[in-house]
Amino acid sequence: MPKALCGTLIKESLRDDRVLDLLEIVEVQIWKAANHTPDQPAYWTAITFSAGTECFLATLADSLKPQWYVDLSSSREKIVVLPHRVIRYPLGDAEGRKSAEAACRQAGISETQINWKE
């Protein structure tokens, strides 16, 4: 049975990595981050995951360091998790995406990193 939510998070974005216990880890890769900011590491540990429920979203939001986000997708919506905030919009909703992008900017996320796929 497919999982309800899928996404990728950067391990270095976590203040508390116990949230990983709530996810089904699918793959782990090391990425050279071409668009990292001066206060971020040059190499990121990318964790692709799936989850059957949304129970972990609040925990994930509370686990993120400032100026990081995680984006997830379900079959119908995009979910952008910022520190202490979860934003949702229907897939393909241009206004919803613009609102989520604005929230990322307000949270101090670099413009070059506001680039999730629908």
Give the chain's domain count.
Answer: 1
The pLDDT value recorded for residue 107 is 96
Residue 115 near residue 108 (C-beta atoms within 8 A): no
Q: Tokens for 47, please give them.
A: 């964790």
Domain span at 31:
5-113
Q: Tokens for 9, please give them.
A: 């998070």
Note every long-range contact of 75-80, with CB atoms under 8 Å and residues 24 or more positions apart, other chains counting: 78/116, 78/118, 79/5, 79/7, 80/104, 80/116
pTM assigned to the model: 0.90
The pLDDT value recorded for residue 10 is 95
* pLDDT beneath 50, residues of the chain: 1-2
User: Does residue 22 sit within a domain?
Assistant: yes
The pLDDT value recorded for residue 1 is 40
Give me the numbers of helices (H) and strands (E) for the chain, helices first please: 2, 6
Residue with tokens 């992008």: 101
User: Does residue 118 sit within a domain?
Assistant: no
Fill in the amino acid letter for 44: W
User: Does residue 23 sit within a domain?
Assistant: yes
pLDDT tens-place string over residues 55-76: 899 999 999 999 999 999 999 9
User: Does residue 70 sit within a domain?
Assistant: yes
The pLDDT value recorded for residue 46 is 96
User: How far apart, in whole angstroms, are the C-alpha atoms of residue 37 and residue 39?
Assistant: 5
